[in-house]
């Protein structure tokens, strides 16, 4: 950056996490370019930002090269829910891999710092619990989740090869399950599914016996972690786990949502999807030490805010 505001590219900026990130970057005085092909993202997510002269939406697919001048890149473009990323698995792999190559190429040409939205899915169905960054994972390379898991793993490989080979400034975050306002009501993720089902008084769909565990982070906490990671010195590359270590079974989550919504919904059991990880909890020691970061929003508070969002959306 020579003069004026920091120019920041957010790929996937019209999605759930991306829209919150764009909003926060604008609040921090950045000039934000959101590049999104609107596969799962929507203009609604960023409609409130479109009037801001320092915000720009560009309809672009990251599997194609992009020539822009920016100082920092957050690479978030990729469908994230199993239902969405399995809809066109070949495109999912291309988005992760070709998208990473294109964004890394851009970062190299303009000398930008680049952040990768990686995932706890790189750990697969983990045998190490909680998951630490040095755990190499247990991923089925040919299963229905592989397009996402292996795509994200290959993207990490590319990031570290560009760092080793070209000295790029990279920041890799491994994101654990995150929830909050602007999740898609129909993307099949557990928090949005349960809230929408409870609000509509429909049965809660529990996959398997509901004993599998997850750890849920509220979106505001996650975005704070992103910004802190991006602001670290060049010696910090990650990967760093960012997530909330409070672990619970999916069944407990269902009961909590039903109680908080005040719903009469019962539970209906459905088959556990193939390769669904049985347990997941981040070890966030590294994030605490390196970024001084811990999640602040309790699950009760975060769910309250998310339920209010879906309630308002359904009444609109």
**306 is in the binding site of which of ligand UDP, ligand NAD, none (Cβ under 5 to 8 A by kind)?**
none
> For residue 67, with 0-12 CB atoms within 10 Å meaning exposed, 13-18 middle and 19 or more buried, which class applies?
exposed
Query: Which secondary structure element, helix H or strand E, spans residue 44, and what is its range?
Result: helix 43-46
Binding site for ligand UDP (CB under 6 A): 81-82, 177, 188-190, 193, 205-207, 212, 214, 250, 272-273, 276
Taking the complex as a whole, how short is the minimal distance between the CB of residue 99 and ligand UDP, in angstroms? 19
- The answer to whether 16 contacts ligand NAD (rule: CB under 6 A) is yes
- Of 1, 9, 15, whose CA–CA distance to 222 is shortest? 15
Nearer to ligand NAD, 37 or 306 (CB): 37
**16 is in the binding site of which of ligand UDP, ligand NAD, none (Cβ under 5 to 8 A by kind)?**
ligand NAD
Cis peptide before 230 (omega within 30 of 0): no
- The answer to whether 150 contacts ligand NAD (rule: CB under 6 A) is no
How many whole angstroms separate alpha carbon 281 and alpha carbon 177?
Answer: 9
Nearer to ligand NAD, 228 or 263 (CB): 228
* C-alpha torsion 241→274→142→179, nearest 10: -30
- Of 6, 63, 54, 64, whose CA–CA distance to 34 is shortest? 54
Q: Footprint of ligand NAD on residues 77-116 (CB under 6 A)?
A: 77-80, 84, 95, 99
Which residue in 74, 85, 123, 148 is the catalytic one? 148
Cis peptide before 90 (omega within 30 of 0): no
Nearer to ligand UDP, 104 or 261 (CB): 261
Nearer to ligand NAD, 66 or 168 (CB): 66
Q: How many residues does the chain have?
A: 316
Taking the complex as a whole, how short is the minimal distance between the CB of residue 82 and ligand NAD, in angstroms? 11
123 is catalytic: no
- The answer to whether 61 contacts ligand NAD (rule: CB under 6 A) is yes
- The answer to whether 18 contacts ligand NAD (rule: CB under 6 A) is yes
How many whole angstroms separate alpha carbon 229 and alpha carbon 240?
Answer: 9
Output the furthest CA–CA distance in the chain (Å, rounded). 59
Q: How many CB atoms lie within 10 A of CB 164?
A: 11
Chosen residue from 15, 181, 239, 282 binding ligand NAD by CB under 6 A: 15
**82 is in the binding site of which of ligand NAD, ligand UDP, none (Cβ under 5 to 8 A by kind)?**
ligand UDP
Taking the complex as a whole, how short is the minimal distance between the CB of residue 316 and ligand NAD, in angstroms? 19
Taking the complex as a whole, how short is the minimal distance between the CB of residue 39 and ligand NAD, in angstroms? 4
**193 is in the binding site of which of ligand NAD, ligand UDP, none (Cβ under 5 to 8 A by kind)?**
ligand UDP
Per DSSP, 132 falls in state P
CA distances from 187 to 79, 81, 135, 183, 215 (A): 10, 6, 29, 8, 19
Taking the complex as a whole, how short is the minimal distance between the CB of residue 1 and ligand UDP, in angstroms? 36
3 state DSSP class of 138: strand
**241 is in the binding site of which of ligand UDP, ligand NAD, none (Cβ under 5 to 8 A by kind)?**
none
- Of 71, 86, 3, whose CA–CA distance to 273 is shortest? 86
Residue found under tokens 């909003």: 23
Would you please indicate which residues are annotated as catalytic (active-site) residues?
Answer: 148
**Contact residues for ligand NAD (CB under 6 A)?**
11-12, 14-18, 36-41, 61-63, 76-80, 84, 95, 99, 117, 119, 175, 177-178
């Amino acid at each position: 950056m020579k003069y004026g505001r920091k120019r920041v590219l957010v790929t996937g900026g019209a999605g759930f996490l991306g829209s919150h990130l764009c909003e926060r970057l604008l609040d921090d005085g950045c000039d934000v370019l959101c590049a999104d092909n609107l596969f799962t993202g929507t203009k609604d997510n960023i409609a409130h930002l479109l009037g801001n002269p320092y915000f720009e939406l560009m309809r672009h697919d990251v599997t194609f090269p992009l020539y822009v001048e920016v100082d920092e890149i957050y690479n978030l473009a990729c469908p994230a829910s199993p239902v969405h990323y399995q809809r066109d698995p070949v495109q999912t792999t291309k988005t992760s891999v070709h998208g990473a190559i294109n964004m890394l190429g851009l970062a190299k040409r303009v000398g930008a710092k680049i952040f990768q939205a990686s995932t706890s899915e790189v750990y697969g169905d983990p045998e190490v619990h909680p998951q630490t960054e040095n755990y190499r994972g247990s991923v089925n390379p040919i299963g229905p989740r592989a397009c996402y898991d292996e795509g994200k793993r290959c993207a990490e490989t590319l990031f570290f090869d560009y760092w080793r080979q070209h000295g790029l400034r990279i920041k890799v975050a491994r994101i654990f399950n995150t929830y909050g306002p602007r999740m898609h009501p129909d993307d099949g993720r557990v928090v949005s599914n349960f809230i929408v089902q409870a609000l509509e008084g429909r049965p809660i769909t529990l996959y398997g016996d509901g004993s599998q565990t997850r750890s849920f982070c509220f979106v505001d906490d996650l975005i704070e972690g992103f910004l802190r990671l991006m602001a670290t010195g060049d010696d910090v590359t990650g990967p760093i786990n960012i997530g909330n270590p409070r672990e619970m079974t999916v069944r407990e989550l269902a009961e909590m949502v039903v109680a908080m919504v005040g719903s009469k919904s019962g539970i209906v059991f459905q088959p556990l999807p193939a390769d669904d990880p049985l347990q997941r909890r981040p070890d966030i020691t590294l994030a605490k030490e390196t970024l001084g970061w811990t999640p602040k929003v309790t699950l009760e508070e975060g769910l309250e805010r998310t339920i209010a969002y879906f309630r308002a959306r359904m009444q609109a």
